[in-house]
Amino acid sequence: MSASHRYALVGGHTLVSHGLETEAVLLIEDGLITSVGSETGHARVVDARGLYVLPGIVDLHGDAFERQLMPRPGVHFDMQLALAETDRQLVANGITTAYHGVTYSWEPGLRGREAMLQMMTALEGARPYLACDTKLHLRQETYNLDGELEVLAWLAEGKIALLAFNDHLPDILRKLAQPHEVMNILQRTGLSAQDLHALASRMAARKDEVSDSIRRLAGAAVSAKVAQASHDDPSPEVRQWYQDLGCYISEFPKTQPTAALARELGNPVVFGSPNVVRGGSHQKNAVAAAQMVSEGLCTVLTSDYYYPAMLPAAFRLAHEGLCSFAQAWALISSNPADAANLQDRGRLQAGLRADITLVKATPGRGAHAVTSLIQGRVVYGGLKSPVGLP
């Protein structure tokens, strides 16, 4: 946006520091919010009546782009095409900052080394053309010991925006004993059940190497000032172990006591917004995200595997009285921004980026994004204005 573009968003239900305000005027110039007040300052006026004017959604963990890469088992598409289509989905759902959760695993195929390298190259090449501010959330499988040196180098080079530690090996070994459950893993790896079992067994035999690898990676992330998350914390003891390494985000803790300890430690605690929208997790025995919100044990919601869930999840939580609207929207804006050390977004405040989601709550359809602004520019939808938006 050129320096001459200056406008004011007026008349909407604007989420400011003390809650929703119908009289607030947002002045936007050069991609930033320059003031939040009551005067338009002779700027062009954009009428937001009937809409919620909200901070843009920040998604710390989304891997639905995998469905663009492999929409059917064994059917692969070009990564640039997948990233472009994912980008359209993101901004259409009010997501203005997205962390693509790319799994770097000991498995071959969709989550293997070659796919990881191709994704990093594709993302770097596509980034100048993407509307959404898209970052790399590298999900390191802890048994991917042979990939450690590469991850250390990527951290030092600033290629990773968020590092998560995952361990899906026990789950894969369990599913190998149940053919109906292991099919999706076989499809994404391209291996037979026999070959996958042999590979998983070889990985399991390296158990004694895993803790030291995690320590080295966590130390490198701390040095690089990269936010870290531990995924699927099974117990308070595991959460405390990661905390001691400087890994402060608890992502999808498995139990209520684990989430409770994380909050006692001051950790951001992450759950999935599909869990809220669907009324529970798709996984058996998983905790309910809405209940965690009501108990103060969830501070961040992510898209997880479904981008359209984030916005309606916040409205549903507020509608059901599980928290205030401001608290619900913070779960998908200011809280994730803070967790990822993004200090330039997540709130409608002077001096911050003008990343804004304009939402309409329509009977029969529910709340949905009608316009997404990133650094003051319309990247999705539009608004009526006497002179139009830039």
Nearest Cα neighbor of 141 from 182, 107, 115 is 107
Number of domains in the chain: 2
**Cα 188 to chain center, whole Å?**
22
The verdict on residue 196 lying in a domain is no
What are the φ and ψ backbone dihedral angles of 283, each rounded to 5 degrees? -100, 140
Residue 378 has pLDDT above 90, yes or no: yes
Neighbours of 218 (CB within 10 A): 20
Residue 9 has pLDDT above 90, yes or no: yes
The verdict on residue 386 lying in a domain is no
Could you report the per-residue pLDDT of 220-269, keeping only the tens digit for each? 999 999 999 999 999 999 999 999 999 999 999 999 999 999 999 999 99
- Asked if residue 141 and residue 125 are part of one domain, the reply reads yes
What are the φ and ψ backbone dihedral angles of 297, each rounded to 5 degrees? -110, 5
Could you report the per-residue pLDDT of 111-136, keeping only the tens digit for each? 999 999 999 999 999 999 999 999 99
- Asked if residue 352 and residue 261 are part of one domain, the reply reads no
Q: What angle, rounded to 10 degrees, do the helices at 207-224 and 148-156 form?
A: 10
Rounded mean pLDDT, 325-343: 98
Two tokens, residue 57: 């959604």
What is the spatial distance between Cα 70 and Cα 78, in angstroms, rounded to a whole number? 10
The one-letter amino acid code at 322 reads L
With contact defined as beta carbons under 8 Å apart, do 360 and 117 qualify?
A: no
Q: Kindly provide the b/e burial profile for residues 84-95, where b requires at least 16 CB atoms within 10 angstroms of the residue's own CB.
A: eebbebbbbbbb
366 lies in which domain range? 6-54+347-381
- Asked if residue 216 and residue 136 are part of one domain, the reply reads yes
Task: Give the N- to C-terminal CA distance of the chain in Å, as an integer.
Answer: 7
Two tokens, residue 358: 């304009």
CATH number at residue 291: 3.20.20.140
What is the spatial distance between Cα 338 and Cα 349, in angstroms, rounded to a whole number? 14
- Asked if residue 74 and residue 13 are part of one domain, the reply reads no
The verdict on residue 149 lying in a domain is yes
Mean pLDDT of the chain: 93
What is the spatial distance between Cα 315 and Cα 331, in angstroms, rounded to a whole number? 11
The verdict on residue 326 lying in a domain is yes
pTM, entire model: 0.94
What is the spatial distance between Cα 15 and Cα 56, in angstroms, rounded to a whole number? 11
What is the spatial distance between Cα 214 and Cα 216, in angstroms, rounded to a whole number? 5
Determine whether 222 is exposed, middle or buried from the number of CB atoms within 10 Å of its CB (0-12, 13-18, 19+): middle
- Asked if residue 295 and residue 161 are part of one domain, the reply reads yes
Which of helix, strand or coil describes residue 141?
Answer: strand
Two tokens, residue 240: 């405390």
Residue with token string 């573009």: 5
Residue 390 has pLDDT above 90, yes or no: no
- Asked if residue 318 and residue 218 are part of one domain, the reply reads yes
Confidence of residue 386 (pLDDT cuts 50, 70, 90): very low
Residue 304 has pLDDT above 50, yes or no: yes
Residue 389 has pLDDT above 80, yes or no: no
Two tokens, residue 294: 């009501």
- Asked if residue 136 and residue 227 are part of one domain, the reply reads yes
What would you report as the CA-atom Rg of the chain, rounded to the nearest whole angstrom? 21
- Asked if residue 326 and residue 275 are part of one domain, the reply reads yes
Determine whether 247 is exposed, middle or buried from the number of CB atoms within 10 Å of its CB (0-12, 13-18, 19+): buried
Least confident interval from 68-77, 80-89, 171-180: 68-77
Res 384: pLDDT: 58
- Asked if residue 332 and residue 243 are part of one domain, the reply reads yes
The one-letter amino acid code at 371 reads T
CATH number at residue 367: 2.30.40.10
Res 296: pLDDT: 97
